[in-house]
Structure 1
Amino acid sequence: MPETFIDLFAGAGGLSWGLQQSGMDCLLASDHWSDAVTTYRHNLPGHPVLEKDVRDLSVREIEKHLTRQPDWIVGGPPCQGYSTVGKRDRHDPRNVLFLEFRRIVAGIQPEGFVIENVLGMKDMSFEQEVCDSFRQIGYTVRFMVLTAAEHGVPQLRRRVVFVGHKTRGLFQGPLVTHDSESFVTVDEAIGDLPPLGPGESAVNYSAAPSTVYQKEMRRDSRLLQGHQVSKHPSHLVEAISHVPDGGNRSSIPEHLQPRGGFHNSYSRLASWLPAVTITQNLGKPSGTRCIHPFQDRGLTTREGARLQSFPDRFHFLGGITSQRLQVGNAVPPLLAQALGESLQNTRRWF
C-alpha cells in the first residue's frame, strides 16, 4: 500500500506533485492563499484541499477529512522570515510557524514528518531548535541541505530539509543523480520554447523538443500556458541588449546604465549552466539574473516553471504577478520526487 501524506503550507502544489510522482498518496492539503489553492485544485483534482490559515486549523478538523492515518506530514512554512535576502529577525512571527506545524504533528502522530525551507533558516541557527522541538515528541530528526540541480532540476536552488521518523532512524537523504558535468542547463530546459519579444505571448510550440528534459516537460501537453512576456520600456530593452549570454550589467554602456538595482541585477542567465534560484521577480530584468540568455527580456511564467521542473501540463492560475509568485515560492517537483522516493526506500535510513 502506498505511503500517505498531509501537505501543510501546500502552495501551488510542487511538493505534493513530486511526492505523488514518487508513488505516495495525498490524504489532505492545506494553504490559506486563494490563488495557490485554485492552482493546486486545478492540477491535483484528486487531492482534498482546505483553504485555511494553519493557525486556525485544528487537529480535530484535519481528522474529520482523513480516510486513514497518514504516514507523513510534510510542509514548508512561509520563508520570508528565514530568507537570506534582506533583513532577518529571529523574532519575526513567521519564524515560529514551524511550531504550528509541530502542533499538528503532535496531534496527528504520523510516523514521520518533513519540513522544507530556504537556506537562510540554517544560517539563522534554527536547525537545532527545530530538531530539539521534534525530538521532545518522539521523533529522530536530521536536517540536511539539498541542491536542486543534483536531482535533475535545472536550477542551483538550495533548500534545508528536516526529516523525522519514529522508528526508521536517521534519514540519509535522496541519492545524488547529477553533478556539474551532467546538470540540466538553462538552454536544455527552455531552449525549445517559442522566442518572444517584450509584451508578446505564445500558446503553440514552434519547435520540436531537442533534449530529454524538454521531452519530459512537454509530455501530455499540446498547448503552452503562461508563456507571456511583460512589457519592457524601449530604453530598458536597449540597455540589456548589450549584455551577453551569462553576462552582467557591466556590459551596459554608461549612458544606458539603470540607476537602481544590485550588482547582479540586469544580468542574463547563463545558457550553459543551471539557473540561479528562481524568484517571484523572474519576469523583471531588474531582478536577480533573470534575463533570458539570448532574448532581450525577462522570463515568462512558463520558463520559470520549467526551471523549477514543473511540466507544461501543470498550469498556474490567477494574475501574472500571482502566477510568478506561485512559481517562485514552490518546491521544485523533481526535488520533491527524489525526496519521496528516498523516504520510502528503507536503504536510505540508518
Structure 2
Amino acid sequence: MKILVITLLLTELTVTYRCQLMQSYDYLFEPCIYQESNNTNEVICSGDGDLNLQTTFKIVDRRLPTPMKKFSRLYINNTALKILPENSFRDVTFDEIIIDGCKNLELLHEKSFTATNLITKSITFRNNQKLSNISVFDILSKFINLEEIYFFNNNIKHIPDEAFKPVIGPQVKLEFIQFYGKTIESIGNNPFAHLNNLKLLDISHTSIKTIGEKAFEFNTVSDNYLTIYLFGNNLLNETSFSVNSLSNIKRPVILEIEFMGKSWENPVYYREDILLPFLQSNPQNNLSMPFTPYIDCQDCRNYWLIIHQQCQQQLNHTLICNNRNQFNDPGNFIDCTV
C-alpha cells in the first residue's frame, strides 16, 4: 500500500512539474508553439517566417529533462523552410511527424532525424510542392518502429528500387504505406521487398503507366495478407502490367483495381497472361474491380474465365456483361474456342 501511495505521489509530482515547466517556458519552442489537449502534446512549427529548427530544438533539448523530450506529434507547416538540416531535433522525439504544406521545402538531410528514428510510428509528407529528392526513402528506412507512411501530393516522381531497406534493422511494424499524387510516374524493382508485415499498400491517383515484374515482389514467402489499392491512376490500363508482375508477390493478396475511362460501352478485358497466374499462384488471392465491373462477354480474351471457373470464386465483384446476359450464360462467347 505504501509503495502504491508513493508511486501515485511521484506521478502527481511529475505531472505537476511538467505543467509548471511548460508554463514557465512558453518561449522555449519559439518560433514554434507547444500545446496540450486530450492527453496529447504537440509541437507546431508553422507560418511564413524563417524557421531555424536546429536552434529551436537545441534549446529544447538543453532545457528539458530526458523524460520530457518525448512528444505526441510534430507538425511542420512553414512556407519559408527550404531544407531540413542535419540533426534538426537533437534528442527530442515524436510519436507522429507531419510535414505539410511546406511549399519551398526541397531537401531533407540524410541525418535530419536522429533520436526519433527509434520512436516515431507515423510519418506524413503532404502538399510539399518542391520535395522531390528520393533520399527521403533512405531516411524513412532508418525509422525502425514506423507503422504507417503517407505520401500525398509532393513532387516525388519515382518510387526507387528497394525503397525501404533494413538500414538499422527490419521495419517489422510497418503495415501501411500510401502514395498519392500525379507527380509519381514510376515504380522501381522490389521497393517493398523487405517489409514482410506490410498489410496495405495504396498507390492511387498517380501518373504511373506501367507495373514492372518486380514492383510488388517480396523477398520471403509469407502467409500475411497484403491488400493493394490501385485507384484513380489515369494512365494505367489492362496492358500496363508486366508478365509475372502479380504472380511473384509471395503472399496472399487482395488486389483492388480501378481502370479509368471504362464503361458499359468500353468495358475492361481481363488479361489471361497476367490475371490467371495471379489467381492461381495462391488460392487465397482475390481480385476486385468495384468501380469497373463491366465485361464484354463476346470478347474471346475473357473466355479463360469460363474455362477456369474456379477463378470466378476469387473475384470480389460481380461480372456484369455489357450484353445484359449473366456471365455464365451459354449465349456468351459463342465464337470462342479453347
TM-score, normalized by the shorter chain, greater than 0.5: no
More helix by share: 1
- Which protein has the larger Cα radius of gyration, Structure 1 or Structure 2? 2
Higher relative contact order (CA 8 A, sep 6+): 1
Give the alignment's TM-score, normalised by structure 1. Answer: 0.23
Give the alignment's TM-score, normalised by structure 2. Answer: 0.24
More strand by share: 2
